A = this chain, B = another copy of it.
Amino acid sequence: MISVALINDYEVVVRGLASMLHAYSDRIEVVELDLNRQVGNSVDVALYDTFASPQGDRDRVKSLASNPLVAKVVVYSWNTDDDLVHAALANGAAGYISKGVSARELTAALEGIHEGVEEIYATASTATIVAGDWPGRDEGLTQREAEVLALITQGLSNDEVAEMAHLSINSVKTYIRSAYRRIAVDSRTKAVLWGIEHGFRPDHTRVTHPEPDPGSRA
């Protein structure tokens, strides 16, 4: 039985992961981790889901890896580029798991990593199991559509989204187009307003680029 803390800014993502792992609750105990205070119960693994976060977020991985309450950090992401994996490991992650794996494989991988066997599960499959959860899922958004929408709801331009998600600008535009069609909006502003009303607000606003005005939170 290992304890796992789920790390992501979107509550629904965390909830989706938790429910995914619930089937293996005899092997995985999902626990809370207070990142703002360095007190409390330690966890065996901090599972960091990169949804709508900078891929290869070295600061986040580093921060988690150096948190005394966290024994091991595992990155959970769609992006399995070698450089991203290596960067995460270089920054202290003990493992890197593709979102393409099943819940059973995820559980096994977490156990393996916990036991000190560094493993990287990077399957090439893209739509193996529709598990987990993400904002807008109930409204029919695919994971990628949701992620791109979440990033524009953070205020990012298409170029910034492309960079952050490691996608081509053309892919970003494609996802924007399809996402807008699904939620029946025709402008970015309306999409952002929709997002805010539908769980696309991160719990913690991460500063991924310099704030021009230190006095305001945007």
Tell me the A residues contacting B by CB distance below 8 Å: 139, 152, 155, 157, 183-190, 192-194, 196-198, 212-213, 216-218
Copies of the chain in the assembly: 2
Known A-B contacts A189-B188, A192-B192, A192-B193; the reply to A183 vs B213 at CB < 8 A is: yes
Asked if B189 contacts A213 (CB within 8 A), the reply is no
- The residues of B that contact A186 with a CB separation of less than 8 Å are 212
- Which residues of chain B come closer than 8 Å to A212, judged between CB atoms? 184-186
Question: Measured between C-beta atoms, what is the minimum distance from A44 to chain B in Å?
Answer: 37
Whole-angstrom CA separation of A216 from B196 in the bound complex: 12
Please give, as numbers and ranges, the residues of chain B lying within 8 Å of A152 by CB-CB distance: 189
Report the separation of the CA atoms of residues A184 and B188 in the bound assembly, to the nearest whole angstrom.
20
Q: A192-B192, A192-B193 are in contact. Are A185 and B139 (CB under 8 A)?
A: no
Nearest-Cβ distance from residue A75 to partner chain B, whole angstroms: 28
Contact B139 A216 (CB under 8 A): yes
Partner among B194, B197, B218 whose Cβ is within 8 Å of the Cβ of A193: B218
Task: Indicate if the CB atoms of B157 and A216 lie closer than 8 Å.
Answer: no
Given contacts A155-B189, A186-B212, A197-B216, 13 further A-B contacts (CB under 8 A): A155-B187, A155-B193, A183-B216, A183-B218, A184-B216, A188-B189, A189-B189, A189-B192, A193-B218, A194-B216, A196-B196, A197-B217, A198-B216
Closest to A217 in B: B197
- Min CB distance, A205 to chain B, in Å? 9
Please name the residue on chain B nearest to A194 by beta carbon.
Answer: B218
Q: How many Å lie between the Cα of A196 and that of B154 in the bound state?
A: 12
> Can you list 28 A-B contacts (CB < 8 A)?
A139-B216, A152-B189, A155-B187, A155-B189, A155-B190, A157-B187, A183-B213, A183-B216, A183-B218, A184-B212, A184-B213, A184-B216, A185-B212, A185-B218, A186-B212, A188-B188, A188-B189, A189-B189, A189-B192, A190-B218, A192-B193, A193-B218, A194-B216, A194-B218, A196-B196, A197-B216, A197-B217, A198-B216
Among all A-B residue pairs, the 6 with the closest Cβ atoms: A184-B213, A184-B212, A194-B218, A155-B190, A155-B189, A193-B218
